[in-house]
A and B are shown apart, each in its own frame.
Chain A
Amino acid sequence: MPRTSGVFPAGLNRIFLLLAPLTLAGCAIQAHDAAFDRYRLAENLKPAEVLAKKLAITDLNCTHIKTQELSGKNVEGAPMGPVWRDYIIQTTGCGRAKNYVIQCEGDSDCRYR
């Protein structure tokens, strides 16, 4: 007969004891990362908009450009490296419009794809 402790066999209890803190840690990291990545997305939006505006001034041949974020998401690009932020920025000016995909890494390194 397998040794039991309460409802579950002793071996299962050990597994539960191991899994419980791991699950809690996973949930805590998930909550932390979600909030942190939202913050990172918001923080990088400004330089992404600046780059989109700079591009639109040439592409739309217009100096009065307005920008609007259409979407923003975190992207794990090349492995074992940084997590990037991808934005789609809509630019409008002088009756014309153009969308740009801007990718940002770090605090200020933004590139147009």
Chain B
Amino acid sequence: MRKTLKRQHILKPRPARLKASKGWRGNGIRKNTLRLNLLIFLSTALSITCLAAPSLSFASSTQIIEAAGFWTQAVAEGNLSHASESLSNIRLWLEGQGRFNNANPVSNMNWYQGMARAALGYAITDRLTVWAGYTYSPTENHGMGYIGEQDVWPAIRYIFPTSIGSVTLREMMESRFVRGDAPGVRSRSLIKLIHPFEFEPRLGLVLWDEAFFNLNDVTNNPLLGYSGFNQNRAFAGLSWTFDQNVRLEFGYMNQMVNKSNPNVDGSIYGSLNAISASVFMGWQ
């Protein structure tokens, strides 16, 4: 159980101490490490952009279907040391989401998708965790029938500090099952930056992008799509860190979904402009 906060004091940020500090194996190594971390961040972002670019090069026959929405998310995660100290490296990830859009013209915002996710992870280090998980996504888009998608997936997540904030990389490989058909295999690559502001470290700028690629055609179930670029989610917003274990994130998210059929001329994309609100909770 989380202990109650008695009181909280914030220490004013101080200038970086690169020169004053003895550093991790010396200042040069530390600077190099920060540079390396930044390089990894930038190269990953560049890779995602390059991978997505060919699919996003809009030709004249490209049609974009716009929609507005609201996504909510609650994520809780922590280790199992409460059960046994020997399980302190085992982590549990629980998540729920509710998604709403304006696809129904006779009402304003309607629920169209939910998501429940659970996963068990092993913390290889304090920053690197591997996961095995399950996701259930009930979906009922306006004018279409109900679909319940079930996914199983491994994932790997790495968190590292940089000079501009904390960066999270996450890679998931989903096997997606819908109506008992052949599974669709989809990779998801996420990169996320949280940059705390100097004037108020509890307030932070949050930027993330997640690119989805189908690795196979599931021709007997077009709901799962064709191989290639599937969708991209990009977020820009603010975070508020209440304490070590509770953080809120609120901002704008764009979801660009590839709805094209490679056997038909032209491309169709669905662009959802959504307000996204998330709460992240942790326990130790």
Residues of A within 8 A of B (CB): 26, 29-30, 33-40, 43, 47, 50-51, 54-55, 74-84, 86, 103, 105-113
Residue B84 at the chain A interface, CB threshold 8 Å: no
Q: List 22 A-B contacts (CB under 8 A).
A: A29-B158, A30-B124, A34-B125, A36-B24, A39-B25, A43-B17, A78-B244, A79-B76, A82-B159, A82-B194, A83-B127, A106-B166, A107-B17, A108-B11, A108-B13, A108-B201, A109-B11, A109-B13, A111-B10, A112-B6, A113-B6, A113-B244
Taken together as a complex, chains A and B put the C-alpha atoms of A29 and B123 apart, in Å, by 12
Interfacial chain B residues near A110, Cβ < 8 Å: 10-11
Interfacial chain A residues near B244, Cβ < 8 Å: 75, 77-78, 84, 86, 103, 105, 111, 113
- Report yes or no: A29 in contact with B24, Cβ–Cβ below 8 A: no
- Report yes or no: A81 in contact with B3, Cβ–Cβ below 8 A: no
Residues of B within 8 A of A (CB): 3, 5-14, 16-17, 21, 23-25, 30, 33, 75-77, 93, 123-128, 158-159, 161, 165-166, 168, 170, 192, 194, 196, 201-202, 239, 241, 243-247, 280-282, 284
- Report yes or no: B194 in contact with A79, Cβ–Cβ below 8 A: no
Q: Can you list the 8 inter-chain pairs with the closest CB atoms, starting with the nearest?
A: A39-B24, A82-B166, A109-B201, A33-B125, A79-B77, A77-B244, A74-B126, A78-B280
Interfacial chain B residues near A111, Cβ < 8 Å: 8-11, 243-244
Interface of A is mostly: mixed
Q: How many A-B residue pairs have CB under 8 A?
A: 141
The answer to whether A29 and B124 touch (CB under 8 A), given A75-B284, A108-B14, A113-B244, is: yes
Taken together as a complex, chains A and B put the C-alpha atoms of A55 and B10 apart, in Å, by 11
- Report yes or no: B9 in contact with A51, Cβ–Cβ below 8 A: yes
Q: Which residue of B lies closest to A74 (CB)?
A: B126
Q: Min CB distance, B160 to chain A, in Å?
A: 8
Interfacial chain B residues near A79, Cβ < 8 Å: 75-77, 93, 280-282
The answer to whether A47 and B14 touch (CB under 8 A), given A78-B281, A79-B75, A109-B201, is: yes
Taken together as a complex, chains A and B put the C-alpha atoms of A112 and B196 apart, in Å, by 18
The answer to whether A83 and B245 touch (CB under 8 A), given A78-B281, A108-B13, is: no
Q: Which residue of A lies closest to B163 (CB)?
A: A107
Q: Min CB distance, B69 to chain A, in Å?
A: 21
- Report yes or no: A35 in contact with B24, Cβ–Cβ below 8 A: yes
Interfacial chain B residues near A35, Cβ < 8 Å: 24-25
Interfacial chain B residues near A55, Cβ < 8 Å: 9
Contacting residue for B16 out of A29, A37, A107, CB 8 A: A107
- Report yes or no: B21 in contact with A43, Cβ–Cβ below 8 A: yes
Taken together as a complex, chains A and B put the C-alpha atoms of A6 and B77 apart, in Å, by 45
Contacting residue for A80 out of B6, B17, B75, B241, CB 8 A: B75
- Report yes or no: A76 in contact with B126, Cβ–Cβ below 8 A: yes
Taken together as a complex, chains A and B put the C-alpha atoms of A108 and B236 apart, in Å, by 25
Q: Min CB distance, B85 to chain A, in Å?
A: 13
Interfacial chain B residues near A76, Cβ < 8 Å: 77, 123, 126-127, 159, 282, 284
Interfacial chain A residues near B127, Cβ < 8 Å: 33, 37, 76, 83
- Report yes or no: A81 in contact with B166, Cβ–Cβ below 8 A: yes
Contacting residue for B125 out of A30, A75, A112, A113, CB 8 A: A30
Among A78, A82, A107, chain B packs the most CB atoms within 10 A around the CB of: A78
Interfacial chain B residues near A84, Cβ < 8 Å: 244
